[in-house]
Amino acid sequence: MILNSGMHTVALSPLGGQILDWRFSGYHIFFPQQMVRVEKGVKKLRGGMPVMFPNFGNDHFGILPKHGFLRHTYADPKLNLSRSSRAHNFTFASRHENFPWKYDLWLNYQMMEKGPAIRLLASSRGTFRGHESAGYMPVNFGIHPYFYTPQSRAYVRVDGEEVHFVLGEVTSGDKSSLIIPSGREVEIELWGLGIVKMLLSDAFVGEQAKLVIWRDNPHYLCVEPISTDPDLFGNGGHYVKPGRSEMASCEFSFSPKRY
C-alpha cells in the first residue's frame, strides 16, 4: 500500500501496520526496511517504522515477545481499508494466545502536507473466559521510526531544548541509547537531509510518556515515543478498563535544508 502527498511517498505493510519506507522527492527520510549486519556479524531486520503493541521492550510477565506481538501480526483483511491514496486504516483483533485480554486495535495513517500522521486506538473488551482474575488490560504504545542519517550526524531537540548526547561516532556493532521524558514537539535534524518534526499528542505526552533515542548503526537513528516507561508494562503503567480506549498520536513533518 502506497500513500502520497505532494513530494512525499509512504509505503505501508499489513504486517503490523508498519511503515516500510518514507521518501521525500525520492530521498529516504526513514531508513528503508532491510536486513542489516549488527553486532558480531549477525543480521537483523531494521528500518521503516514498526508499531509496538501491547508492550514496548520486555514485558513484566515474561511471556510476550520483546516490543510486543503486533509487529508479527497481519491486519484483518476484511477491515484493511483504504480510503484514498492519502489515508489508510488497519484493524487488528484479539488473537495472541499469551495475552488474556480481548481488544480491538485501530491504526489510521493520513498524509499531511509535510509527511505522514499516525493515530493508534486500543479498546478493551475484557478478558477471555477463565482469565477474569487478570484485571485491566495493560498497554504501552510505541512507534519505532528509523531516521536515515546519510552523514551519521543527527541532533534531537525536545520542546526546543537540545538533548545532549553523542551518537555521531557510533560505529556498526556498537549501541548507544537514552530514555528521557517526552514532549509535545520533537525535532530531529538529519545532517545532509533536513529537519523532521514529530508532533506528539494523547498518550505520547502523558505524565509517564518517554522518548527512547537509540541506534546500533551509523546509517540510522531511532527516536521512539512510548506511552510509559518500558519497565512499567503490567507493573504500574497504563491500563485500559473494559469498554474504554487509549489513544496515541504522532504527526511527522519534514523540511529539507541545504548543508
Mean pLDDT, all residues of the chain:
90
> In percent, how much of the chain has pLDDT > 70?
93
pLDDT of residue 80: 64
Higher pLDDT, 171 or 224: 224
Give the per-residue pLDDT at 63: 85
Cell numbers representing residue 204 in the block: 505520547
Q: How many CA atoms lie within 13 A of 98 on its CB side?
A: 12
Q: Which one-letter amino acid corresponds to residue 46?
A: R
pLDDT at 176: 64
Least confident of 73-82, 213-222, 228-237: 73-82
Least confident of 54-58, 190-194, 196-200: 54-58
Cell of 165: 548526547
Local structure of 122: helix, strand or coil: strand
Residue 79's pLDDT is: 66
Could you tell me which CATH class the domain 2-256 is placed in?
A: mainly beta
CA distance linking residue 209 with residue 70, whole number of Å: 20
C-alpha cell at 164: 545532549
**Which SS3 state, helix, strand or coil, does residue 68 take?**
coil
On whether the CB atoms of residues 88 and 69 are closer than 8 A, the answer is: no
Listed by start position, the domains of the chain span: 2-256
Asked if pLDDT for residue 105 goes beyond 60, the answer is yes
- Using alpha carbons, select from 107, 37, 42 the residue that is nearest to residue 75: 107
Q: Give the pLDDT confidence of 19-71 residue by residue, as tens digits.
A: 999 999 999 999 999 999 877 778 899 999 999 999 998 877 778 998 999 99
Q: What is the pLDDT of residue 59?
A: 79
Q: From residue 161, give the alpha-carbon distance in Å to each of 144, 179, 186, 208, 219.
A: 22, 15, 9, 19, 24
Query: How much is the average pLDDT of 237-250?
Result: 95
39/106: higher pLDDT: 106
pTM: 0.93
Mean pLDDT of all residues in 76-89: 78
pLDDT digit string (tens) for 108-156?
Answer: 999 999 999 999 999 999 998 788 777 899 999 999 999 999 998 999 9
Average pLDDT for 66-88: 83
Helix then strand count (H, E) for the chain reads 0, 23
- Using alpha carbons, select from 24, 3, 25 the residue that is nearest to residue 13: 3
pLDDT of res. 124:
95
pLDDT in tens, 147-183: 999 998 999 999 999 886 655 444 444 456 788 999 9
Q: Which of 134, 123, 108, 144 minimizes the C-alpha distance to 20?
A: 144
How far is residue 90's CA from residue 109's CA, in Å, rounded to a whole number? 9
**pLDDT at position 235, please?**
84
Question: What grid cell was written down for 175?
Answer: 549501541
The segment with the largest mean pLDDT, out of 80-94, 166-180, 241-255, is 241-255
pLDDT at 254 over 80: yes
